[in-house]
Each structure stands twice: as structure tokens, then as C-alpha cells.
């Protein structure tokens, strides 16, 4: 059985790191506004600029407080390319309000899989006929056992599960790469702990 993980920044569990509190799209936006169910959501598909605040240190994994977009440094992108990590595209992110010693990129995750809603204890009770947004039988944040159907994983090292685009998942190769290159402010936890608070990072 393969091991999978959840990868993100670790800003909420560490101190001193700058984070992006405002974004400025520099590319076409993904518009998820729905006239039927009322869902609202817009974010840049590729390049964007950010204003940062909160600390003094520039991390390799930068939290995006405006929207759950993955922002990483060029060091991370270079490491992933060197190690042959698959399942992503990278687009430039510009820091507007201060001089940055690092180059940053917006990571668009391309790998996919299906969530195991039954194992997670969720049931879809409603799905919008227009935008396909789903409503579950309980609050999504109440899940404490994230699970996927392993046979549906497309084999990419970076991937997301359908219905959960903001939760970036990864293979063990990504975990080993983070350890090898000592990426800062990186949080990687076992897949089942993806939505738990207070779980210590493996890196």
C-alpha cells in the first residue's frame, strides 16, 4: 500500500514567516460564481502579484491568506524539477510591497484522484445542477480522517481529490525531496491527518 500525504505551508504552526495577505491577478481568473446556488469564488489561473506581511523571514512555502493558492520559492521548483516530481505547473508570483530575496511561483496542481467519501464518513446530499458544487450531510471541517480511493490516483506526485481542490496531496517522493532540500515553512502530514489541527509536520 502506497503512502500519501498532505502538503502545505506551516505558517500557523511556526513564527516569523511572511505571508501573502492580498493578491492581484495578472492573468485570466477562474470564476466560480454561480447564479443557481450562490457560490462565489474567483482566483487567478496563472500569474499574480501579492502584498506580504506578518513576519520578517521569506519562506520557501508561503501562505496565501487571500485564497488557498500554493505559493513556493524558486528553490522548491528547482528541487522538484531536479528530482523529477510530477503533477504541477508553475507561474511567476511578484511581491509588490517589499524587496524579496527569493523568486516565487504559483503552483497549479495537475494530478487527480477520487476521495473516499464513505471512509471519511461523508454523504453528498445535494449537488448544484449548474456548477456541480456539493453539499454534505455534515460540515466539511468536521472530517478527521481524510481518505482517497487509491486505485483512482493518476500517478502524479502532486495531486488533489475531486471536491477538495484546496487540499494538495503528494507522494512519498515529495516528502523525501522536502527533507533532502530542507524547504522552510513546509508542512507535510499523513493523508489521514490532512484536516486535523495540531499534527506535527514530518519535515
Per domain, the residue ranges of the chain are: 4-193
> What is the pLDDT, as a whole number, of residue 161?
96
> What is the pLDDT, as a whole number, of residue 1?
67
Write out pLDDT tens, residues 157-193.
999 999 899 999 999 999 999 999 999 999 999 999 9
Q: How far apart are CA 22 and CA 53, in angstroms?
A: 9
Helix or strand (DSSP H, E) at 15: none
Nearest residue to 150 (alpha-carbon basis) of 163, 138, 159:
159
Q: Are 186 and 9 in contact (CB under 8 A)?
A: yes
> What is the pLDDT, as a whole number, of residue 144?
78
The cell numbers describing 69, all together, are 493558492
The cell numbers describing 139, all together, are 460540515
More confident residue, 174 or 143: 174
The cell numbers describing 54, all together, are 506578518
The one-character DSSP state at 57 is B
Nearest residue to 18 (alpha-carbon basis) of 52, 49, 51:
52
Q: How confident is the model at residue 195 (pLDDT cuts 50, 70, 90)?
A: confident
Nearest residue to 90 (alpha-carbon basis) of 74, 105, 103, 72:
105
Q: What is the mean pLDDT of residues 54-66?
A: 93
Specify the pTM: 0.93
Write out pLDDT tens, residues 19-33.
999 999 999 998 888
More confident residue, 160 or 135: 160
Q: What is the mean pLDDT of residues 65-82?
A: 94
Model confidence at 132: pLDDT above 90: no
More confident residue, 68 or 49: 49
The one-character DSSP state at 60 is S
Q: Are 176 and 202 in contact (CB under 8 A)?
A: no
Q: What is the largest CA-CA distance in the chain?
A: 48
Amino acid at each position: 500500500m502506497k503512502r500519501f500525504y498532505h502538503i502545505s505551508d506551516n505558517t500557523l504552526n511556526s513564527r516569523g514567516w511572511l505571508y501573502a495577505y492580498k493578491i492581484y491577478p495578472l492573468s485570466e481568473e477562474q470564476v466560480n460564481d454561480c447564479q443557481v446556488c450562490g457560490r462565489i469564488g474567483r482566483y487567478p489561473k496563472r500569474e499574480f502579484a501579492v502584498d506580504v506581511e506578518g513576519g520578517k523571514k521569506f519562506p520557501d512555502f508561503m501562505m496565501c491568506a487571500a485564497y488557498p493558492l500554493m505559493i513556493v520559492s524558486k528553490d522548491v521548483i528547482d528541487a522538484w524539477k531536479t528530482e523529477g516530481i510530477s503533477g504541477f505547473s508553475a507561474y511567476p508570483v511578484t511581491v509588490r510591497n517589499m524587496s524579496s530575496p527569493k523568486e516565487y511561483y504559483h503552483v497549479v496542481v495537475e494530478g487527480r484522484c477520487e476521495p473516499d467519501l464513505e471512509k471519511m464518513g461523508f454523504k453528498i446530499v445535494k449537488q448544484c445542477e449548474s456548477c456541480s458544487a456539493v453539499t454534505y450531510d455534515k460540515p466539511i471541517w468536521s472530517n478527521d480522517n481524510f481518505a482517497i480511493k487509491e486505485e483512482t490516483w493518476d500517478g502524479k506526485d502532486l495531486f488533489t481529490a475531486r471536491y477538495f481542490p484546496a487540499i494538495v496531496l503528494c507522494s512519498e517522493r515529495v516528502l523525501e525531496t522536502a527533507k533532502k532540500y530542507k524547504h522552510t515553512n513546509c508542512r507535510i502530514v499523513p493523508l489521514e491527518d490532512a484536516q486535523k489541527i495540531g499534527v506535527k509536520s514530518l519535515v
